[in-house]
Each structure stands twice: as structure tokens, then as C-alpha cells.
Amino acid sequence: MSAALIARNADLKAAARRRLLCPDQGNSLLVREVPYVTAQREVKRGILVSPLDLAGDITKRPQDHQVQFIGERPCLKDGSPMDKVIHSEVNNEIAPGLIARFSFSQKPACGYYVDYYEKMTTYATMLSAQAVWLEPGADARANRVVEPEPEEESAFNYLDTASSRAEINSATAKLKLARSYLSG
């Protein structure tokens, strides 16, 4: 995720301050290293994924309240599935090697999330709240610094937000031109 995009958006800036953000894949917002409990009552780390909705380079209110999850079926601290959060099983290739297996649905009382910070921290907290029972201190904050992607100097450098909403990131990535073709 570019430093300029983060700088222009309070919700992304708040997530970056908490070290939740990481580079996006196919213009999906990813939160990596989210602790969760497996059926065997082990604490593992998964990835939350949400399509990123933008107006130019400014984040819009998320269009929906759902996220996808890369990892095993998340469970409560006793090893039973988190059926109240798991909406459905999916098979969505976010990027090569990153396949979401579950869709989560937890609509806030007002019917929508105000911004991406609220949306992603809500889901991360739901998962890590179960993990902390088995691994005190389990937290979704990354223990590493994530460097932003280098900026491309072009007036036509826009993120493709349609591919992540249509769940065709993998196909779109195959069509991406190498930088050398564009530069000359």
C-alpha cells in the first residue's frame, strides 16, 4: 500500500499506527498476523481481507460489512467453530498463493462500518479475543515494519478497486503488464 494513500486517509493512517496494515494484494486491504484458534485449540495466524473502496485516492465508507479470511476455520477458545461470525465457505484466490476460505459477516448496530479501521479492527478483535485465552498477549499488530510500495510517478496511476469487489484479483494479475513494457 502506498505511503501517499495511507497519508491521505485517516482510517488507513490509524491502522498503520497500530501496525495492522500491510501491502494490499490486487487492491484488497489485508490485515496479516491475526491470531485465531483452530479446532485443535492451537493459536495460529491468519489474514483478513476486504475489498478497498476508493474515490480517486480517498477511501470511501466500506460498501459492505463482510470480510474474507485466509486460514483454517476459526474457532472459539474451546475449539468449537465461530458459527456466529462465519457467513460461508468460499474459495477466492486473492493473489497467487493467497486463497480465502471463509467469509465473515458481523454487521454493526448502525448497519455499516464507518471506515476501514473500524471494520478491520472489529474482525481482528473478534478472532484475537478467543486466541488470548490460550496465548496471553496474542495481538493482531504485526511485529515487523511494513515498507510501503514505491510510488509510480504518473497521473494515471490508480488502484483497480473493481477487481477485488468482483473477486477476480488472480485473473487481473495475469493481465498486468510488466513495468518495462510501459516505460519504453
String of b and e for 117-154 (b: at least 16 CB within 10 Å)? Answer: bbbbbbbbebbbebbbeeeeebbbebeeeeeeeeeeee
Cell numbers for 142: 504485526
Q: 16 falls in which pLDDT band (50, 70, 90)?
A: confident
pLDDT of residue 148: 47
pLDDT at 88: 93
Mean pLDDT rounded to a whole number for the chain? 79
Is residue 46's pLDDT more than 50? yes
pLDDT at 159 over 60: no
The sign of the dihedral angle between the CA atoms of 51, 53, 56, 58 is negative
Provide mean pLDDT across the span 69-73. Answer: 96
Sequence-distant contacts of 147-154: CB under 8 A, at least 24 apart: 148/1, 148/2, 148/3, 148/6, 148/23, 149/1, 149/2, 149/23, 151/2, 151/3, 151/4
Does the pLDDT at position 67 exceed 80? yes
The pLDDT of 137-156, averaged and rounded, is: 55
For residue 183, is pLDDT > 60? no
Q: How confident is the model at residue 55 (pLDDT cuts 50, 70, 90)?
A: confident
pLDDT above 90 for 90: yes
pTM: 0.71
Identify the residue with better confidence: 121 or 162.
121
pLDDT at 5: 75
**pLDDT above 90: residue 132:** yes
